[in-house]
Amino acid sequence: MIAQALSPISTSSRAADSAISLLDDIGNTPLLDLTDFAHSCGAQDNVQLFAKAEWANPGGSVKARAAFKIVEEAEADGRLGAGQILIDSSSGNTAIAYALVGAVRGFPVHLVMPKNVSRERKALVKAYGATLIESDPLEGSDGAIRMVRQIVAADPERYFYADQYNNDANWRAHYEGTGPEIWQQTQGRVSHFVAGLGTTGTFVGAGRFLREQSASAQLVAVQPEDELSVIEGLKYLPTAITPGIYAPSLVDRHMTVSAETAWDVTQALAREAGLFVGFSSGAAVAAAVQVAKELPLNSESVVVTLLPDDGSKYVSLGLFD
């Protein structure tokens, strides 16, 4: 079951244009019903589980929302002007989204990514015409952050540093889009929102909106179980550079997921629900199912999670073999 489609949530100057841009298709993603999957994993009969299919965005991930919002605001206030290069660090999906938006809007994009990101993600960034700069694979996303800061500091006038980890446009994209979509698609019945922490923009923005609509809504933040558990797209915040946009006061419950559990659920979603998703999606669903299993027998709860991307960018890693 897919929840009824909505008219676009966000409004901006682009809505006044008579021509339709590819970027107008960002957001308004389907809400998929994973209730049967949750029940097969032991969730209570009266609990429902839904998930936002974010690979439906242009560029194939949830990061299209934040990337476009960051660019829109920077163009509007002059931080991204003619002749400037957009630069940022990313482990993959935001890089692809920036490259796509740059191709549509007509500005150059430079992206710092750890050298060990998947071949597919590197190829997609280059396909959209962006310049790829590789950082030390052993330093992960934090190493990419440090490298991009050094590049910008050496020639600040050349670049617009998008800085997705500290740019409020990141969480506002979800406050204005993802959160209202979830609220409308569940007819205001969402009781638990479960999301992974990477840049933290999705959790903070959508969670903040849902909390304003319902004080009883439970916001669950998901991280890898430790710094050695590598789940693409998620951060283990106790040992990572904490994003400036993170709002820990919003979190009602912290949950951790092992890399093995994330992989097992990712595989199960493909084989039992027909959903070929990335590993951060598997981690989010694993946590959401655990929440659903713990709810009381008479619960009429509606648990909603978010699937950041599909599995196509991870095939070359061999983990699906």
Strands 85-89 and 159-161: parallel
Helix (H) or strand (E) holding 140, with range, is helix 140-154
Whether residue 233 contacts residue 308, with contact meaning beta carbons closer than 8 Å, is answered with yes
Would you name the residues annotated as active-site residues?
A: 63, 280
How far is 264 from 255, CA to CA, in rounded Å?
17
How far is 26 from 127, CA to CA, in rounded Å?
20
- Please give the torsion angle defined by the CA atoms of residues 201, 246, 103 and 60, in that order, rounded to the nearest 10 degrees: -30
Q: Give the three-class secondary structure for 163.
A: coil
Q: Write the CA distances from 152 to 34, 85, 215, integer angstroms.
A: 44, 10, 41
**Using CB atoms within 10 A of its CB, is residue 247 exposed (0-12), middle (13-18) or buried (19+)?**
middle
Which residue spans within the chain are E strands per DSSP? 31-33, 48-53, 85-89, 109-114, 131-135, 159-161, 192-196, 218-224, 253-257, 302-307
Residues 6+ apart with CB under 8 A from 165: 145, 199, 241, 243, 244, 245
How far is 287 from 251, CA to CA, in rounded Å?
14
How far is 259 from 232, CA to CA, in rounded Å?
10
